[in-house]
Structure 1
Amino acid sequence: MRLSLVSSAVLLGVASFAVANDAPSEVIDLTAQNFESLVNPESLILVEFFAPWCGHCKALAPHYDEASVTLKPQGIKLAKVDCVDQAELCQQHGVSGYPTLKVFRNGTPTDYSGPRKADGIVSYMVKQSLPAISDVTSANFEEFKAADKVVAIAFVSSSDSIPAFAETAELHRDDLLFGTTSDPEVIKAAGVTPPALVLYRSFDEPQVIYSGSVSSATTEDLENFIQENSVPLLDELSAENYAIYSQAKLPLAYLFIVPTDPKREQYIEAIKPLAKKFQGKLSFVSIDATKYGDHGKALNLQEEKWPSFVIQDLVSLMKFPLDQDLGLDLAKVTEHTEAYVAGTLQPSLKSQPVPESQDESVYTLVGKEFDSVVFDDEKDVFLEFYASWCGHCKRLKPIWDDLGSRYEAIKDRLTIAKMEATENDLPPSVPFRVGGFPTLKFKPAGSRDFIDYEGDRSLESLIEFVESNAKNPLDPAVPFKGQKTASAKITAQTPAEHHDEL
């Protein structure tokens, strides 16, 4: 679809969408009987898999309805599947949470990674309907460069070739619009000399020109340029734009400020020169300290004392909070940021106190002890990461305790452990992050590699996994490291009644 055929109001994605329960809708209801006949012929269709009881689904519904109405004139359809009524159909499509949105092209699905507000859905789906790179002419230049928050246009002569631009566009077509032009009128209007790459933005400086050689640039070069310039110098972070920062993977420098603080704008303006200095290395954001105070706690800000400043590495998830007693003192924030960029700043690691005694068959591990306990080269370690509020974790507990009891006689060579992952941070030495609960990892003796446990959560399966992966002898009758034979024997236990979990 050529851009000139698309309404600029749709592309701008800035219309004010009413969120009303009785809003009109063009969303198609899908069932197992009509799914293939309605979805497979479509070159582009968005499908939502939802559950009627799901709060997130209810919040999405009016926006989804509004987007369906707006997109209908463009021939872009939206559909939905009730996963309570159509459980088998949802299972066939690998739906494990609600809502799940998938973009189908002639029956082939890809995950939807766009916003969940009406204007964001419209903008995302319009991008999906366009070729990765659109032709820009004098007739649509002004419309195209204002069509989204960030638009990338390559200006070329007939002999120019920029293969990296085409590859970058294919990789990031979900993120922004890409266009190319060799139209002399457009090139003159842009005031550039081909070959050139320009980002047009709806924030900060309205256009940014790539300073290197476009012809010899690599895909990585162009990706870095786009990532560095695709977010405002200092924007307010919210649930709606967090994904943009998350995808960029740049460390986030948070300014936690109460919205009613009379000095709020003063703080933000004072930090902007620092944000400019480190643009491309960190993304600076302000955040509502009242609304997102719990997120501050997750970043190891210990008190609800605002304003506060903290840096988070989005790759390692390490957190670097500034002493909260310092507030947003510019000199201290600058010193803190410079130390982080230089690699001399140590992360803050949350840890529960080290238990005074270990009276259970399962070892209670805390963050402070992680390296010394888990990376003990002489021991096999089987570790559960859990959350106190997690229902699956609560159901696993008696089984995990039984596993610890089974191997209690050989604690000198095998550690069955558990760690409350929401109360203890993993140190930088650990090559993974915990994304769900419970997570089970096995670290063989003499190794620093971890093996994921992906079997069912029955005692028998856990025992089989230990016996298959342990490096040390599991029979207490076998001496270990010159020690005397253990007198206790491992005895088979009858596991408690167990029901498999998802």
Structure 2
Amino acid sequence: MRSAALLLSITLLTSVQCIKLRRTEFNVLISSRQSLILFTADGCRECDRVQRVLDDVSPVLSETAIASVNCNEEPVVCDDAQVFTVPTVKYTIGNSELVTYKEGSDASSIVKYIERQSGPPVVDLGNQSHIDFARLSRVAVVAFLGPSGIEEARKEFNTIAERWRAHYSFGSVDRLDKNSAQHSIAVYMREEEHPTYYSGPFRVDDIEAFLQGATQPLIREFDPSSYEQAIADKKPLGQIFFSKHAEQSELVKSLIPVAKEYKDQLTFMTILVSDFPNRAEKMHLSKDLKYGFAIADHYGRAYPMSTTTLSANRIKKHISAFLAGSLKPAIKSEPVPQAPTLPPFVTKLVGSNFDDFVYDKSRDVLVEFHVPWCQYCTDLHKVMNELGSQYAKSGLTDKIALATINVDGNDVPLEIDSYPSLRLYRAGDNGIASFQGDFTQMLTVEQLDTFISKNRVKVNNSNRRVAMYEAMSPNKVGVAHSVKMGYITVLFRQATGLANATTIWNGSGDLIAMISYLAGTLFAAGHLLIFGPTAIKLLAKIRRNDADAPSTESLELWLKMHATRSFVVDSPAVLCFIVGLLNATECLR
């Protein structure tokens, strides 16, 4: 009955004031009329204070629906609305699009904000001081319109204001700025002393691009969304931690000069510890601190400041030391495991040795990131161990390494949000490839091998020297075939006294060479039949130099894994026959 009455009042645009919404009511409200919605949670004192302010202003804002959502009771609503902390106030004109309210939480600021949404998108300032106008809002955008082409410029500016009025205040004056000879725009931000100017073309796209950069505060407020944007800047993060919401404004003002000085080197953010305690712990700071500062580098490594007394000078010294490379990161790490008596096929990493092992440029490294409670992760270790065993038998341990690390007990220099997570760190450039496969069923050795082979650093086949048989059977007969210049070269070696005998068969009738060739060809043909279509496809790709052709190393790995276990007879001939098809110059032993 309650929901029906409320939905009816929403539909009829009658007064809706200070009502706690359920999910259905929330969806109807934000899609039908101008609304101001407070998102709260149980036990939140600041939420109660903001609720009282909204109760006080509700009679004045009779055309605006004012309501609340308890995130403990309606978590899905809060997730869909991207509410990361409480209290959060969001505004909508009734089109289902929510804009986070960022002005003051006092009655006067709220009323002025709603009045601004109800009036024209651009305030004609006339003789009013644009400086006084700018002081009324967190961000104010003022257009200086001269006498020539004023109507066209005004039209473009009005279009921008209509789109962004819920975010910023817009005003205009019919004169040019004293420092410009043409139309211009100034952006005033409450935290900054001087405005940012734009004097480019008065076109919607150009002005929007300018606003997106000019309205980005020097010190941003941390939440998952703003964090992603900050990471996209590809700069280290200077994180300012504080414990009381009321202290944020003064804290930001005191540190603006520091942020301005280092804005090209760092991205700065404020973090309320009670909202994001895990972030403080990740930066090796106590979640009970009053103030704190820490830098996160490109890899997410933490460089916390040892003192909890914040001042501009202390932070500047810490930043200078970081930029000079004289600080060492704080890394949570389990003890380094004791070296086993036999070489393991999968290496157990910890926080303190992760970087040295993974960023070894001489080899590819597959790492499984796991947590102790993940049974799938534990079972996957066995599959990785089997793959590692095969790599060891093939003599590839110096080229490919397999490792695991417990993310619960160790810091890792990247964000891991699901378990298990697999990353391949490529040799050479240390580029990272993420496994995007399906974990609903246990991965197989072949799937892991395919992922590694596809994502390893590609090597120019024409520049590689192939020596496959040496790794497999160095003390037995070796026959190599190289198809080149229209004939077959046979390099014949035998451990029984003919180690240095080398003959060439090109149809001359040399008996030893002919027998060697025929034996090798028969072995090769037999193996190719066993390998089936896969081998033929690989060879065709390499001969055509296809973009997705495997490297010689990948082919070597495939052959060693499949040829040796699918045929009991030692197979130098088939390996050398393959080399011949690759147009390799030689195949030794």
Alignment TM class, shorter chain as reference: 0.5 to 0.7
Q: Using a 3 Å threshold, how does the CA distance of structure 1 residues 122 and 55 change in structure 2: closer, same or farther?
A: same
Which residue in 2 is equivalent to 1:441? 422
> Are 2:407 and 1:420 equivalent residues in the alignment?
yes
Which residue in 2 is equivalent to 1:469? 451
One of 366, 387, 402 as aligned partner of 2:379? 402
**Distance in 2 of aligned mates of 1:46 and 1:384:** 43
Q: How does 1:475-486 map to 2 (within 5 A)?
A: 479-480=560-561
Q: What secondary structure sits across from 2:50 in the alignment?
A: helix
Partner deviation per Cα, 1:156-181 (whole Å, 9 max, x = no partner): 1242549997898688666x524241
Q: How does 1:382-401 map to 2 (within 5 A)?
A: 382-386=367-371, 394=373, 396=374, 398-401=375-378
Deviates most, 91-100 or 413-422: 91-100
Which residue in 2 is equivalent to 1:137? 125
One of 167, 170, 175 as aligned partner of 1:179? 170
Q: Are the equivalent residues in 2 in contact too, given 1:257–1:308 (CA < 8 A)?
A: yes
Q: What secondary structure sits across from 2:442 in the alignment?
A: helix
Corresponding letter in the other structure for 1:408: N
Which residue in 2 is equivalent to 1:16? none
Q: Using a 3 Å threshold, how does the CA distance of structure 1 residues 280 and 443 change in structure 2: closer, same or farther?
A: closer
Indicate the structure whose relative CO is greater, using CA pairs within 8 Å and at least 6 residues apart.
Answer: 1
Which residue in 2 is equivalent to 1:490? none
Shift of 1:401: 0.8
Which residue in 2 is equivalent to 1:197? 185
Which residue in 2 is equivalent to 1:27? 19
Which residue in 2 is equivalent to 1:8? none
**Distance in 1 of aligned mates of 2:224 and 2:377:** 36
> Are 2:341 and 1:354 equivalent residues in the alignment?
no
Q: What secondary structure sits across from 2:432 in the alignment?
A: coil
Q: Are the equivalent residues in 2 in contact too, given 1:49–1:81 (CA < 8 A)?
A: yes
Q: Using a 3 Å threshold, how does the CA distance of structure 1 residues 64 and 374 change in structure 2: closer, same or farther?
A: farther
Which residue in 2 is equivalent to 1:430? none
**Distance in 2 of aligned mates of 1:448 and 1:106:** 46
> Are 2:442 and 1:460 equivalent residues in the alignment?
yes
**Distance in 1 of aligned mates of 2:562 and 2:100:** 53
Q: Using a 3 Å threshold, how does the CA distance of structure 1 residues 319 and 170 change in structure 2: closer, same or farther?
A: farther
Shift of 1:148: 1.6
Corresponding letter in the other structure for 1:26: C
Shift of 1:368: 3.9
Q: How does 1:223-242 map to 2 (within 5 A)?
A: 223-227=212-216, 230=217
Corresponding letter in the other structure for 1:70: V
Q: Using a 3 Å threshold, how does the CA distance of structure 1 residues 424 and 404 change in structure 2: closer, same or farther?
A: same
Partner deviation per Cα, 1:106-142 (whole Å, 9 max, x = no partner): 55x4465456995599489749946995233238767
One of 267, 282, 292 as aligned partner of 1:298? 282
Which residue in 2 is equivalent to 1:451? 434
Structure 2's unaligned 5+ residue stretches are 1-15, 245-249, 392-400, 455-553, 567-589
**Distance in 1 of aligned mates of 2:434 and 2:32:** 43
Which residue in 1 is equivalent to 2:349? 365
One of 54, 62, 77 as aligned partner of 1:67? 54
**Distance in 1 of aligned mates of 2:443 and 2:310:** 52
Q: Are the equivalent residues in 2 in contact too, given 1:374–1:443 (CA < 8 A)?
A: no
**Distance in 1 of aligned mates of 2:289 and 2:70:** 44
Corresponding letter in the other structure for 1:147: L
Q: Using a 3 Å threshold, how does the CA distance of structure 1 residues 416 and 75 change in structure 2: closer, same or farther?
A: farther
Q: Using a 3 Å threshold, how does the CA distance of structure 1 residues 215 and 345 change in structure 2: closer, same or farther?
A: farther
**Distance in 2 of aligned mates of 1:127 and 1:422:** 52
Which residue in 1 is equivalent to 2:539? none
Which residue in 1 is equivalent to 2:144? 155
Shift of 1:215: 4.4
Shift of 1:357: 4.2
Report the number of matched residues. 416
Residue identity over aligned pairs, in percent, reads: 14
**Distance in 2 of aligned mates of 1:345 and 1:170:** 50
**Distance in 1 of aligned mates of 2:82 and 2:274:** 34
Partner deviation per Cα, 1:427-446 (whole Å, 9 max, x = no partner): xxxxxx41635462342876
Corresponding letter in the other structure for 2:145: V
Q: Using a 3 Å threshold, how does the CA distance of structure 1 residues 105 and 276 change in structure 2: closer, same or farther?
A: closer
Shift of 1:202: 4.2
Which of these two proteins has the greater Rg computed from alpha carbons?
2
Q: Using a 3 Å threshold, how does the CA distance of structure 1 residues 122 and 438 change in structure 2: closer, same or farther?
A: farther
Q: How does 1:303-342 map to 2 (within 5 A)?
A: 310-312=294-296, 317-321=300-304, 324=306, 334=316, 337-338=319-320
Partner deviation per Cα, 1:351-391 (whole Å, 9 max, x = no partner): 414322479997533334334544577656252254xxxxx
**Distance in 2 of aligned mates of 1:463 and 1:65:** 62
Corresponding letter in the other structure for 1:148: S
Q: Using a 3 Å threshold, how does the CA distance of structure 1 residues 254 and 69 change in structure 2: closer, same or farther?
A: same
Corresponding letter in the other structure for 2:349: L
Q: Using a 3 Å threshold, how does the CA distance of structure 1 residues 215 and 346 change in structure 2: closer, same or farther?
A: farther
**Distance in 2 of aligned mates of 1:96 and 1:325:** 32
Q: Using a 3 Å threshold, how does the CA distance of structure 1 residues 332 and 130 change in structure 2: closer, same or farther?
A: same
TM-score (structure 2 length as normaliser): 0.50
TM-score (structure 1 length as normaliser): 0.56
**Distance in 2 of aligned mates of 1:162 and 1:358:** 75
Corresponding letter in the other structure for 2:336: V
Q: CA RMSD in A?
A: 6.2
Corresponding letter in the other structure for 1:181: S
Q: Are the equivalent residues in 2 in contact too, given 1:29–1:79 (CA < 8 A)?
A: yes
**Distance in 2 of aligned mates of 1:307 and 1:96:** 24
Q: Are the equivalent residues in 2 in contact too, given 1:196–1:210 (CA < 8 A)?
A: no
Q: Are the equivalent residues in 2 in contact too, given 1:349–1:424 (CA < 8 A)?
A: no
Q: Are the equivalent residues in 2 in contact too, given 1:444–1:470 (CA < 8 A)?
A: no
Q: Are the equivalent residues in 2 in contact too, given 1:63–1:116 (CA < 8 A)?
A: no
Shift of 1:316: 5.7
Shift of 1:70: 3.0
**Distance in 1 of aligned mates of 2:316 and 2:85:** 42
Q: What secondary structure sits across from 1:409 in the alignment?
A: helix
Corresponding letter in the other structure for 1:451: S
Deviates most, 436-445 or 284-293: 284-293
**Distance in 2 of aligned mates of 1:122 and 1:362:** 60
More helix as a share of residues: 2
**Distance in 2 of aligned mates of 1:435 and 1:119:** 40
**Distance in 1 of aligned mates of 2:85 and 2:263:** 36
Corresponding letter in the other structure for 2:31: N
**Distance in 2 of aligned mates of 1:164 and 1:439:** 51
Structure 1's unaligned 5+ residue stretches are 1-23, 260-264, 387-392, 427-432, 486-502
Q: What secondary structure sits across from 1:367 in the alignment?
A: coil
Partner deviation per Cα, 1:4-34 (whole Å, 9 max, x = no partner): xxxxxxxxxxxxxxxxxxxx962253454x5
Q: Using a 3 Å threshold, how does the CA distance of structure 1 residues 104 and 348 change in structure 2: closer, same or farther?
A: same
> Are 2:41 and 1:41 equivalent residues in the alignment?
no
Q: Using a 3 Å threshold, how does the CA distance of structure 1 residues 221 and 83 change in structure 2: closer, same or farther?
A: closer
Q: What secondary structure sits across from 1:356 in the alignment?
A: coil
